[in-house]
């Protein structure tokens, strides 16, 4: 009798433990995020007009259309937005380590990255070009014209891959932050920086001695643009984010965020 009571007791305890465990597991990514009260995004704020530093009322602030987008998502979910600025090539590791809830960094949803994380739909389409010295603006019109040159790209980006794949014998200089690439270009250490059109335009606007070349890299249609990354297996969260993106796109909000971000670039 005593033994069966003990066994029943053990069973009750272990069943309770089981219920609690599976309860936690059943809680989807969206529910967990909502319960946490905050939305921590990882970004690399060297990418105007997507995300960049700007002094506002004497205070260093991270702004840009990715930030406006992240704020709109946080508002929609009723969460407090937190921005974590880091090197681009550390973002997916931070996401998988749980340091951030999502990555909003003008990131292309490549097949390779999709093995590691889940992506939303593309919220902004983009082409890839090179930023060069103003006097070379019309010199680099094709991949062949760039062959054999020193070309810079941000570490861990598709631009670094595009240079390796599409420019013959290029010497790639890969650095963590874009302003460091710009310094390399200005000092003549590299001839060009592989970067996205809108970002190249922003840097050219801020640096009159630089210009955007007419050359465009080739890039697969389904990877052409930026998407938000979340941890793998977050289907419910992806579904919700896509719903929010659809609405923001339909309401012209993203276009508006882009215009506003471009106005903030100096």
Please give the residue ranges that form the binding site for ligand ARG (CB under 6 A): 43-44, 46-47, 50-51, 88, 105-108, 154, 157-159, 196
CB of 112 to ligand ARG, least distance (A): 10
CB of 143 to ligand ARG, least distance (A): 18
Structural tokens at position 252: 């012209």
Measured from the CB atom, is 101 or 196 closer to ligand ARG?
Answer: 196
Can you say how many angstroms the Cα of residue 135 is from the centroid of all Cα atoms in its chain? 31
Residue 60 DSSP SS3: strand
Measured from the CB atom, is 30 or 40 closer to ligand ARG?
Answer: 40
Specify whether the backbone of 57 is left (phi greater than 0), alpha (psi in -120 to 50) or beta: left
Alpha helices in the chain (DSSP H): 2-26, 29-36, 65-77, 91-97, 143-146, 158-166, 178-186, 197-206, 235-250, 253-264
Measured from the CB atom, is 30 or 44 closer to ligand ARG?
Answer: 44
- Rounded Cα distance, 23 and 67, in Å: 33
CB of 149 to ligand ARG, least distance (A): 20
- Rounded Cα distance, 200 and 85, in Å: 20
Measured from the CB atom, is 47 or 140 closer to ligand ARG?
Answer: 47
CB of 44 to ligand ARG, least distance (A): 4
Contact (Cβ atoms closer than 8 angstroms) between residue 175 and residue 184: yes
* Greatest extent of the chain over all pairs of C-alpha atoms, in Å: 94
Structural tokens at position 81: 């937005």
Measured from the CB atom, is 118 or 196 closer to ligand ARG?
Answer: 196
CB of 108 to ligand ARG, least distance (A): 4
Measured from the CB atom, is 30 or 92 closer to ligand ARG?
Answer: 92
- Rounded Cα distance, 99 and 42, in Å: 8
CB of 21 to ligand ARG, least distance (A): 37
Exposure string for 138-166, b = 16+ CB within 10 A, e = fewer: eebeebebbeebebbbbbbbbbbbbbeeb
CB of 52 to ligand ARG, least distance (A): 9
CB of 137 to ligand ARG, least distance (A): 23
- Rounded Cα distance, 55 and 266, in Å: 11
Measured from the CB atom, is 30 or 123 closer to ligand ARG?
Answer: 123
Measured from the CB atom, is 52 or 140 closer to ligand ARG?
Answer: 52
Residue 55 DSSP SS3: strand
């Amino acid at each position: 009798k005593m033994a069966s009571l003990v066994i029943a007791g053990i069973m009750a305890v272990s069943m309770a433990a089981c219920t609690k465990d599976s309860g936690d597991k059943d809680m989807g990514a969206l529910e967990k995020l909502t319960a946490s009260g905050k939305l921590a995004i990882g970004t690399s704020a060297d990418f105007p007009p997507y995300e960049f530093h700007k002094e506002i009322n004497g205070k260093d602030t991270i702004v840009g259309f990715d930030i406006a987008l992240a704020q709109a998502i946080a508002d929609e979910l009723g969460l407090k937005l937190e921005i974590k600025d880091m090197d681009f090539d550390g973002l997916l590791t931070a996401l998988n380590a749980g340091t951030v809830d999502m990555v909003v960094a003008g990131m292309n949803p490549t097949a390779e990255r999709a093995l590691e994380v889940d992506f939303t739909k593309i919220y902004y389409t983009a082409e890839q070009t090179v930023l060069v010295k103003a006097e070379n603006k019309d010199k680099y019109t094709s991949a062949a014209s760039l062959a054999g040159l020193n070309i810079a790209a941000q570490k861990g980006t598709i631009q670094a891959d595009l240079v390796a794949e599409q420019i013959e014998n290029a010497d790639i200089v890969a650095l963590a932050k874009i302003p460091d690439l710009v310094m390399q270009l200005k000092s003549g250490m590299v001839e060009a920086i592989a970067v996205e059109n809108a970002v190249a335009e922003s840097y050219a606007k801020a640096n009159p001695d630089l210009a955007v070349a007419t050359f465009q890299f080739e890039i697969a249609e389904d990877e052409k643009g930026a998407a938000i990354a979340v941890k793998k297996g977050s289907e419910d969260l992806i579904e919700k984010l896509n719903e929010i993106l659809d609405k923001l796109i339909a309401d012209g909000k993203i276009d508006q965020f882009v215009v506003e971000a471009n106005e903030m670039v100096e």
